[in-house]
Every structure is written in C-alpha cells, then in structure tokens.
Chain A
Amino acid sequence: MIPFEYHAPATVGDAVAMLAARDGAKLLAGGQSLVPALTYRLARPGVLVDINALPLADVVRTNGHVRLGALVRHHVLEESPDVRRWCPLLAEAVAYVGNARVRTLGTLGGSLAHADPAAELPVAMVALDARFAAVGAAGSREIPAGEFFRAPLTTALAADEILTAVDVPVTRGAGTAFVELARRPGDFPLVSVAAVVAVDRAGRVADARVVFGGLAGAPQRSAPAEDALRGHEPTPERIAAAAHAARRALRPETDVFASGAYRAHLAEVLARRALRTATNRALTVEVR
C-alpha cells in the first residue's frame, strides 16, 4: 500500500483550507473515478480530503432554478421528483451512468469536476446552460457550464477551489432528450447527445441546443445544428438536415473503441433521434 494522509473536514471552509495548504491534495466524494485511479496507481496523492461530511447533498427548487448540491448522488438525480419534473434531461442522462452500484455512490460534483470527456452529466449541464458555484481561498464565484470544461479531465476550477453546487434553469416550454450509444450498457458512450428544443406558438423552433459528448476533449455545442433549426418548423427533414450539419462540423478521433468515421456517423444518427424526441416532447404537454 502507498501511504497517504486522510482528512474529513466538516465545513467547506476547512476543506478549501486543506486544498490550499497542501500541494497535490485530492478531493474524495463518491470515489467512482478516484478510487480506481488509486487502485491502478494512476493517481498517487499524498493527501485525500474526504468531503462526504460537507452539507452539500440537497436538491432545492428556487426561483426558476433547481439548485443541486455537489454531493447529490446519481441515484437521487435519477429519482428526485423535482429533477424529473423541472429538469428531466438530467434524470434521463444520469440513468446511463455506470450501473446501480456506481449511481448509488457517485456524486454530481465528482462527475462534473472529474470532467471525463465521455461522461454524461457534463454534456447535459452544457445543454441546460447550468451555472456552477465554486468556493476557493479567494472567495466564491459562478462559472457557466459552457466555460467550465476545458479539456479531458481539466476544468476551470483552481487547485484550491471546490465545486459546491450547480444551478440548473428549469426547463420551460422546451422538450429535452438525451441519447447515447456505448459498446456495452453502462460503459462510457462512444457518442452522447443532449438536445433541448423550444417551439413557439407558430410551431417554429424558438431555440435549440445540441451538445455532443465523447467526440472531443469536452462537451461540444453544435452551432450548425442549432442554426439549422432555429426559426424553422421542426419537420423530420429539417431535423435530419440539422443532424447532418452537425456531423459535417465534427472531426472525432479514432481510438480502441471506434473509428472517428463511425463516431461521426453515430453523432448524426443520435442527434436526429435526440432532436426528434425532444421536439415531440416540446409539442406535447409533458413539459409545459
């Protein structure tokens, strides 16, 4: 065994102080990424700061937002009536994460701060235009989801900052959908797509957001797909054209799981499916 120090602070302030005081200190939340990294000796931190005792596990409906504490477990996102009603995209996305064991322990904040480029929740958060609350030695700040994910396993958080909560705007007048494909159920996906489609009274797309995961170092919004939809009636042909436009702008890489060409193809297919579902949902009372 490789020795390390272990601390379990009771307040966010103490946790931040520990991060600030010790180089290379790592936060332990659900441990779904960190513990395997320790097991495989991919990470050898000298200090582990266990934040499970911090009061960051609440789901609170506020004015136009759902505020999710960083320690909200995946299964809570999956099951919370507030989440299912007000930001159903999150419940749909999180159901793809790992398996029941992973979702029992894994945390929202852990998944976002780990920033695996294929993870589901970052994609959903960018699609929902969520805002991340961080606390560091220099104080508190807010970071838009679109600016949070920088590169694989790299975020906008400073070394002494802790992600404490996420504010997710309530989904109003829009339909959402999350679709992904993995080599095996529960694996990180080859491609994931989150779609948010708002339709106006005239039946035209008022706004659309299409975000891909697994294709680059961070979640990728597709401006071509969104532009292709905005202001148009979301017919199957229009949706297909938008998905095709999205694909043309993508240059995914090849790895051991799939070629870049297959990923690009999947991106188009899954974008089409996600947009169809989101549009159908937007046109029904389900989300009104």
Chain B
Amino acid sequence: MSGAPDRPDLIGQRIPRHDARDKVTATIAYAADWAMPGMLHAVVVRSPYPSAQIRRLDAARASAMPGVVAILTAKDVPHNTLATDVPGQTTTVGPLRAHLHVLAEDRVRYQGEPVALVAAETLEQARAAAEAVEVDYEPLPGVFDTATALAPGAPRVHEAGNLLAEWRIARGDVAAALAGAAVVIDGEYETSFVDSGYIEPEAGVAWIDGDGVVTIRLATQVIEHYRDVAEVLGVPQNRVRVIGTYVGGGFGGKEDVTVEVYLGLLAWKTRRPVKMVWTRQESLLSRAKRHPYRLRYRTGASRSGEIVAQQVEIVGDSGAYAYLSALVLLYSTVTAAGPYRVPNVAVHARVAYTNNPPTSAMRGFGAMQVVFGYESQMDRVGAALGLDPVHVREVNALRRGDTLPVGQVIETHVALPVLARRAWDSLGEPTPPRAPHVRVGRGLACNLQPYGRIVWLHDWSSAWVGFEMDGSLVVRCGAPDVGGGQASSLCQIAAGVLGVPLARVSVHISDSALTPLSGTTTASRQLYMSGNATLKAARELREQVLGVAASMLGVAAIELDLVEGEVRARDGRTLALKDVLAGCARASVPRSRLAVYHAPAGEPIGFMKVGGPDMAPHTPQTLAHGPAEPGRGSGKVFPDYTFGAHAAEVEVDTETGVVRILKYVAAHDVGRAINPTSVEGQIQGGVVQGLGYGLLEEVLLDEGVNQTTSFASYLIPAAGDVPDVQPIVCESGEGLGPYGARGIGEPPIGPPAAAIANAIAAATGARLARLPMTGERVLRALGALDGKDG
C-alpha cells in the first residue's frame, strides 16, 4: 500500500535557511554564549616546549589561590588514554589504533600540549592559577621536519620510531611507460601547515544533570565523542550526553575531541557546571592543522596528451600525534593521480611524526594537497605538448566504468570535460594588463574529492520524522550543523515529501541523548547520509499516513497525495491532515518513523594495517598491485566522488610579485542541488578558504615554536582579498545522496591553489611550487629576487 510518488517540489528551491535570521541577529546561543548558575571557568595549562621531559609538576601553590576549585593533572584522570583513530559511530576498524594521553604524563611532544586543567570561580582566577602551576621541564632534542624525522638516528618523537604510516599503490609498469612516453615532466611541490581558522574558537559548558548524566554542550562536528568522554571517566557510555550547538565553522578542526573530555573531567570532579572557551591564540597554537606535504611527481604523456604514467611520492608531517594522519594519507594515496585515467601508477606515501603541532582532519582531508601536485603537472604536460588546458584534461578525464589506480571502478557519471569547458569559457574576454609591469594569465585546475566515509567503516545515519497532533512536523537527527545548512536541508527534504509548508517544520539536531545518531558532519557526508535517512523516514511516514487516509476515504493509497497540509484524492475529496493523524491514532498507526540509512559497505583493501609507536607496529601497506583491470572492483575505498573544475584569471605585478585575482569561476557536478543557495555558499566558501591556502595562510614554526598565534600574523583572507567567485552548479543527478545529490562541503577547497599557480605560470612563465604563493615567492620564481626563501 503506497501513496502517489512524492513530488519533490521543494528540491532545488532557493529557500532561506531557517537559522539564517537567528544567526544574523545574534539570537542563536553558540557554545561560548551558554552560562549556568554556579558555573566554574576552566583553562588548560599547556607546554611551552615542543619536546621536553616533565621532571616535576606541582600544583600546590596554584591550588591554594583564591577561587580555585580544582586542578587536574594526568594522575587525576581515571583513564588517561584517548583513542583518536576514527570518530563517529563506527570505531572498529581492525588494528588501526591511534592514541594519546588526555593530559601529558612524563613527556610533552609539541608546544601547547595539555599538561593540567584548572577550574576556578572566575576566568581571571583560573588564568592566574594556571600561570602558577609549577612544571619543571627538561627540554629534549626534537625533530621539526619530515626529512630529519625519517633520517637514521633522528631523535624519536615516540619510542618505536618516527614513521607513522605508509601506503603504496603499484599499477601497471610505470618504468616502461615512462621510458616510452613522448614527454616526461618532473615536479616537486611543497604545501604548508594551515589552520582551520574558524571564527568560533573551541568552546563548551558541562554539567551533571539532574539524572546524574554528564552533559556537555559544545561546538563539535561529532557528538559521538560522548563515548570518548565515558571511556576517560570510566563510566558507561549511556551516562554521558553531548549536545552539539550550531557551529561557527568546523572544517575538520572540530572533528577530533576539543574541550569535551576536559569539561567532562572537571564537571565530574567538581560536580558543578564548568565552562571552557579557548582563546584565539590557544586555538591557533594547539589545534590540529592540515598536513604539510612534500610531493614529488614524475608524469609521462603521449604526444597526443594522454597521461601514460604517474609516479608519485608523498611525505606528510603528522606532528606529534597520529590523530587521523593514516587516513588522511590514504585519501591522498587514492586520489594522487587526479580525476584522470592513468594506466600505470606508482604511489608511495609516508607520514612521519615530528615535534610540530599535530595535524589531522581539515576540509579536503588529504585529497587536497595532491591537487596542487597533479594539476600543476597536468598544466606542464599541456604546455610541453602545446595543448590547451581544457583539451589536455578532456583527453584524460575519467569516465564511468574507468578504474582508479587503487582498483575502484567509477560507477557514476563524470562530468569533468563539461565542467572544465564551462569554467574556462565563463572567464569571458581576457582582461588587458593595466600597466607595463603587470602580466595577466589564466589557469585551470580540476579535482576529485570522495564524499561519504571509507566503505569498510560501514557508515550509517538515522533520522526520525514525526507529525505533531496539529499537523506540524518534527525532524530529529543527530547531525551537527556546522554552517553548511545541514539542518535546513533535512527540513526541506522532509517537508517536500510530506507536503508540509517549511514554516510548519521544526528540526532538532545534534543531541546524543535525544536525537537519533547520524554520525559525523565530516567527509562531505551529512547531506548524503542524513539526507538519505531523512528521506527514507519521510517516505515511510508518508506511506503510513496515506494508508490510514486511504481507509478513511475508501480508496487506494495510490489515489492520494499529501499537499499543503491536507490529503487530496484524485476524485477531488480532501481530508485535513489533522483528521488523518487522529485516524492514525484510532488505527494504531504511528505518526512518526525512524529510519536508518546504511551506506554501501565494502571490505578493507589490501591488508589494512598501519603502524607506528602509538599504534600497532608499523608495516608498509600496499593498497593495490598489478594491472588496472577494468571492472575488477575489489579496490573500492569510497562510496563515490565529486568532480570539479576551477578557472582563474590573475594579474601578477612583476615588480612586487603580488598576485591579484581578477576573475574566478568554480564548477562542480553536485548531482542535485537540494538548495542551490546553500550549494553556492559551500562553493564560494571553499574557494575563499582554498585561495587563503594558495596565497596567504601559513603556520610558521621556529623549531616547533608557533610564530603565528593570532589573526594579525596568521593571515586568512579578508574581504579585500576575496574576488567575486562565480559558482557553476551542474546537476547530473548521479550522486548517491537524496535525489541524486553529491557531497559538496569539501570539494571546492581543492582546486584554487593549483588554478592560481597555473594562471601565474601562464602570465609569467614562472612555476610556483611552494605554498602559499606570497609576493616574495612569486618574485623569487620570476628570478627577480635573490637570497633564501623566507
């Protein structure tokens, strides 16, 4: 018994987000806005040294200071080990285990590593006491770059050695293909440490609720970290609750634990509400960054521009702890050859420990750094063969049915040639240079970005959709909303299926106790996963309700539709939704539905084991080996990919090296745009962040000591740096999300750096191989400035 197919009237509509007005008028209570009676204020005592032994830690004097209620050190933490491998609702991934101490025990490995926690009546008292905690450090030798870290005899960050993880792909015969290639291009590229740079630093409040449950309200991308808090406290997982707030920017920086474990510990010990808000300096100092990479590419192409071989070496800096480094490196390994069909591929990827700040998830998650490598190479191949940038990419673009080097078959449409052509053509007429010392040029860069989690994580999401008695609709879903419109999209999907005006929909999200768990808002997965769960719940609810209405009207359900809050029959009769809902009660049919969406699952490829000191012993891993057989399929790593093409026109001041973006176009196949305004926002935001990566942002470290701990020295793009970004939204309908949508949260951050580098090369002939491309580096590349790279 099923109703007429739902008409997704609301899909594709530019609907203002329900939370937009509240955010603009500052009526949303973000994590740091929360306050409770009797609330304490907490701060973290951090190591000033990047590598040191803790010889003595004495909090006696600090404990006696006015207002101090608790000072916790490692010995006060019930279980001082935190697993950091895979956040979310799936944590069993075999031998991949990454750990760190909640509070440092006898050793600190990076500047800013937490050593103690202080809670006091006022923030000033807490800060004063934190400064009074006496710690005797004995500085130890450290390693601050991957080359040193991997050299024999290097000081060890962890006892078992500095190599954290290693992946390999070997497909076809790279040596033979390179030997037979018409052109071989060698390139070395270097990407930088960057920070998420969100406007909202890490913040939260914890308290013991009336029922004894440890409750933590914070800004997070992963409410499932309640389990980590429970593990650390040694209490059952059902005694900890995480309430996620609207997030003022996540970008992966709020994927690992931030303040929740500290807050849980302090609330547990003091039995009082406790607040912790990191300062900007603290966030920039200690928050996990994006991995800086050294990339080495050797690319071979035929005379007609077909890429015949890619040989890629990747070395990433994990900083002092593993966090998600092994998986970030896996993303890089799988996507290292780009969105192209390349028959012969060898990838060797390593990530090493150093005494730099830890690196972990950040928007793009390892599929980003390599874009700078493979798209710079693609441009150089085109230039060497005299092929235009669009053509050389058209010739090589993946198509449905092609096999990625790792062995995964592309099962959905790839719109790359169309995207590249449209982006390039949309630049319009060339801009003439405005002065003799100015050159103008254009660059193109394409990418592929997985969306959804690695298939052997067996990802799932759940959502609950229900009618109130009056016909208004409620959506409950654990998904955190990080500003991408996650909650709004769920409303749009449910409202469309159930024929309810959006104004009559309420959504409750991001509460581990009260909303069904839906997993992390990461991996561009939330619309895909929770959108599907919500769609499923809404469709099943629609069937339930129309079934009851069919009985009431004595017609088949297929005759009925749900529109604008009433049930309409083909014969013209209508029933008020309220009456149908009363009918549901009489017929013992629920007015709600809980649905679970399971992503396509798969088995680990290769022997899924990575190693390192805080993991199992290191073993090099070969992901794929042998010929790239079409249809082989055993190498499935991700559910699907989103493809994009960006085109930029820049001007380069050849006397100062300064690069200014004149035009920027970003085209992505998003499958289906549920809300085009939100999609364009994701594209524009991703481009801006990607331009920051390309031109401005760099965490500068001096022997592990961070030199850029304020927004005066860590330069994120401001209004004056941002060009008019023209998004092009293509809809192939081929995605795995609701109505064929693809993930678009991460993909747009990938291409900008390469697009700009290629445009600079076109304008000046100079090839920039190191990020960010500051005026100084451009000038050096132009040969107009001598001396060492600063």
* Closest-CB distance, B459 to chain A (whole angstroms): 40
Q: When the two chains form their complex, are residues A256 and B785 in contact, meaning their CB atoms are under 8 A apart?
A: no
Q: When the two chains form their complex, are residues A259 and B718 in contact, meaning their CB atoms are under 8 A apart?
A: no
Q: Which of A184, A257, A261 contacts B721 (CB 8 A)?
A: A184
Q: Which of chain A's residues have a CB closer than 8 A to the CB of B779?
A: 262, 265
Q: When the two chains form their complex, are residues B656 and A266 in contact, meaning their CB atoms are under 8 A apart?
A: yes
Centre residue among A40, A256, A270 by max chain B CB count within 10 A:
A256
Q: Which of chain A's residues have a CB closer than 8 A to the CB of B720?
A: 99, 184-186
Interface residues of B in 746-790 (CB under 8 A from A): 774-776, 779, 784-788, 790
* Closest-CB distance, A203 to chain B (whole angstroms): 24
Q: When the two chains form their complex, are residues A261 and B715 in contact, meaning their CB atoms are under 8 A apart?
A: no
Q: When the two chains form their complex, are residues A184 and B708 in contact, meaning their CB atoms are under 8 A apart?
A: no
A256 with B656: in contact, given A184-B721, A185-B721 (CB under 8 Å)? no
Is there a chain B Cβ closer than 8 Å to A245's Cβ?
A: no
* A185 to B718 CA separation, bound complex (whole angstroms): 8
* Closest-CB distance, B214 to chain A (whole angstroms): 30
* Closest-CB distance, A185 to chain B (whole angstroms): 3
* A261 to B786 CA separation, bound complex (whole angstroms): 8
A266 closest partner in B (C-beta): B656
Q: Which of chain B's residues have a CB closer than 8 A to the CB of A262?
A: 775-776, 779, 785, 790
A268 closest partner in B (C-beta): B655
Q: Which of chain A's residues have a CB closer than 8 A to the CB of B712?
A: 187
Q: When the two chains form their complex, are residues A183 and B790 in contact, meaning their CB atoms are under 8 A apart?
A: no
Is there a chain B Cβ closer than 8 Å to A254's Cβ?
A: yes
A181 closest partner in B (C-beta): B656
Q: Which of chain B's residues have a CB closer than 8 A to the CB of A185?
A: 718, 720-721
Interface residues of A in 14-53 (CB under 8 A from B): 40
Is there a chain B Cβ closer than 8 Å to A138's Cβ?
A: no
* A270 to B658 CA separation, bound complex (whole angstroms): 13
B127 closest partner in A (C-beta): A41
Is there a chain A Cβ closer than 8 Å to B696's Cβ?
A: yes
* Closest-CB distance, B301 to chain A (whole angstroms): 36
Is there a chain A Cβ closer than 8 Å to B100's Cβ?
A: no
Q: Which of A2, A181, A187, A256 contacts B775 (CB 8 A)?
A: A181
Q: When the two chains form their complex, are residues B715 and A184 in contact, meaning their CB atoms are under 8 A apart?
A: yes
Is there a chain B Cβ closer than 8 Å to A269's Cβ?
A: yes
Q: When the two chains form their complex, are residues B785 and A2 in contact, meaning their CB atoms are under 8 A apart?
A: no
* A173 to B668 CA separation, bound complex (whole angstroms): 58
Q: Which of B718, B775, B787 contacts A261 (CB 8 A)?
A: B787
Q: Which of B696, B718, B788 contacts A186 (CB 8 A)?
A: B718
* A183 to B655 CA separation, bound complex (whole angstroms): 15
* A254 to B702 CA separation, bound complex (whole angstroms): 13
* Closest-CB distance, B395 to chain A (whole angstroms): 39
B123 closest partner in A (C-beta): A1
Is there a chain B Cβ closer than 8 Å to A258's Cβ?
A: yes
A181 with B658: in contact, given A256-B700, A256-B708, A265-B779 (CB under 8 Å)? yes
**Could you mark each residue 62-105 of chain A with 1 if its beta carbon is under 8 Å from any beta carbon of chain B, else 0?**
00000000000000000000000000000000000001000000
Is there a chain A Cβ closer than 8 Å to B713's Cβ?
A: yes
* Closest-CB distance, A274 to chain B (whole angstroms): 13
* Closest-CB distance, B657 to chain A (whole angstroms): 8
Q: When the two chains form their complex, are residues A259 and B707 in contact, meaning their CB atoms are under 8 A apart?
A: no
Q: Which of chain B's residues have a CB closer than 8 A to the CB of A259?
A: 776, 787-788, 790
* A99 to B719 CA separation, bound complex (whole angstroms): 10
Interface residues on B, range: 20 to 34
* A181 to B659 CA separation, bound complex (whole angstroms): 12
Q: When the two chains form their complex, are residues A269 and B776 in contact, meaning their CB atoms are under 8 A apart?
A: no
Q: When the two chains form their complex, are residues B713 and A256 in contact, meaning their CB atoms are under 8 A apart?
A: yes
Q: When the two chains form their complex, are residues B124 and A2 in contact, meaning their CB atoms are under 8 A apart?
A: yes
Q: Which of B655, B713, B788 contacts A269 (CB 8 A)?
A: B655
Q: When the two chains form their complex, are residues B708 and A261 in contact, meaning their CB atoms are under 8 A apart?
A: no
Q: Which of A184, A258, A270 contacts B776 (CB 8 A)?
A: A258
Q: Which of chain B's residues have a CB closer than 8 A to the CB of A187?
A: 712, 715
* Closest-CB distance, B745 to chain A (whole angstroms): 26
Q: Which of chain B's residues have a CB closer than 8 A to the CB of A270?
A: 656
* Closest-CB distance, B121 to chain A (whole angstroms): 13
Q: Which of A99, A186, A258 contacts B790 (CB 8 A)?
A: A258
* A254 to B776 CA separation, bound complex (whole angstroms): 12
Q: When the two chains form their complex, are residues B774 and A269 in contact, meaning their CB atoms are under 8 A apart?
A: no
B784 closest partner in A (C-beta): A265
Q: Which of chain B's residues have a CB closer than 8 A to the CB of A269?
A: 655-656
**Could you mark each residue 686-714 of chain B with 1 if its beta carbon is under 8 Å from any beta carbon of chain A, else 0?**
00000000001000100000011010110
* A185 to B721 CA separation, bound complex (whole angstroms): 7
Q: Which of chain B's residues have a CB closer than 8 A to the CB of A266?
A: 656
* A258 to B776 CA separation, bound complex (whole angstroms): 7
Interface residues of B in 609-660 (CB under 8 A from A): 655-656, 658
Q: Which of chain A's residues have a CB closer than 8 A to the CB of B658?
A: 181
* A2 to B127 CA separation, bound complex (whole angstroms): 12
Q: When the two chains form their complex, are residues A183 and B774 in contact, meaning their CB atoms are under 8 A apart?
A: yes
* A135 to B718 CA separation, bound complex (whole angstroms): 40
Q: Which of chain B's residues have a CB closer than 8 A to the CB of A265?
A: 779, 784-785
* Closest-CB distance, A37 to chain B (whole angstroms): 12
Q: Which of chain B's residues have a CB closer than 8 A to the CB of A1?
A: 124
* Closest-CB distance, A184 to chain B (whole angstroms): 5
B717 closest partner in A (C-beta): A184
Q: Which of A2, A99, A183, A254 contacts B696 (CB 8 A)?
A: A183
Q: Which of chain B's residues have a CB closer than 8 A to the CB of A184?
A: 696, 715, 717-718, 720-721
* A270 to B437 CA separation, bound complex (whole angstroms): 13
Q: Which of chain A's residues have a CB closer than 8 A to the CB of B775?
A: 181, 183, 262
Interface residues of A in 240-288 (CB under 8 A from B): 254, 256-259, 261-262, 265-266, 269-270
Q: Which of chain B's residues have a CB closer than 8 A to the CB of A2?
A: 124
* Closest-CB distance, A221 to chain B (whole angstroms): 23
* Closest-CB distance, A42 to chain B (whole angstroms): 11
Q: Which of chain B's residues have a CB closer than 8 A to the CB of A186?
A: 718, 720
B718 closest partner in A (C-beta): A184
* A261 to B785 CA separation, bound complex (whole angstroms): 8
B280 closest partner in A (C-beta): A40
Q: When the two chains form their complex, are residues B721 and A254 in contact, meaning their CB atoms are under 8 A apart?
A: no
* A164 to B715 CA separation, bound complex (whole angstroms): 35
Q: When the two chains form their complex, are residues B790 and A261 in contact, meaning their CB atoms are under 8 A apart?
A: yes
**Could you mark each residue 432-471 of chain B with 1 if its beta carbon is under 8 Å from any beta carbon of chain A, else 0?**
0000000000000000000000000000000000000000
* A269 to B712 CA separation, bound complex (whole angstroms): 25
* A256 to B699 CA separation, bound complex (whole angstroms): 10
Q: Which of chain A's residues have a CB closer than 8 A to the CB of B700?
A: 256
* A62 to B161 CA separation, bound complex (whole angstroms): 75
A190 closest partner in B (C-beta): B775
* Closest-CB distance, A188 to chain B (whole angstroms): 8
**Could you mark each residue 127-161 of chain A with 1 if its beta carbon is under 8 Å from any beta carbon of chain B, else 0?**
00000000000000000000000000000000000
A254 closest partner in B (C-beta): B790
A273 closest partner in B (C-beta): B655
* Closest-CB distance, A254 to chain B (whole angstroms): 6
A3 closest partner in B (C-beta): B124
* A261 to B777 CA separation, bound complex (whole angstroms): 12
* A185 to B775 CA separation, bound complex (whole angstroms): 13
**Could you mark each residue 541-564 of chain B with 1 if its beta carbon is under 8 Å from any beta carbon of chain A, else 0?**
000000000000000000000000
* A262 to B657 CA separation, bound complex (whole angstroms): 10
Which residue numbers of A lie inside 8 Å of B, CB to CB? 1-2, 40, 99, 181, 183-187, 254, 256-259, 261-262, 265-266, 269-270
Q: A185-B721, A256-B713 are in contact. List 7 more A-B contacts (CB 8 A).
A: A40-B710, A183-B775, A187-B715, A259-B790, A261-B786, A261-B788, A265-B779
Which residue numbers of B lie inside 8 Å of A, CB to CB? 124, 281, 655-656, 658, 696, 700, 707-708, 710, 712-713, 715, 717-718, 720-721, 774-776, 779, 784-788, 790
26 A-B contacts (beta carbon < 8 Å): A1-B124, A40-B281, A40-B710, A99-B720, A183-B696, A183-B715, A183-B774, A183-B775, A184-B696, A184-B717, A184-B720, A185-B721, A187-B712, A254-B790, A256-B708, A256-B713, A258-B774, A258-B790, A259-B776, A259-B790, A261-B787, A261-B788, A262-B776, A262-B779, A262-B790, A266-B656
User: 6 tightest CB-CB pairs across the interface, nearest first?
Assistant: A259-B790, A185-B720, A262-B776, A261-B787, A269-B655, A256-B707
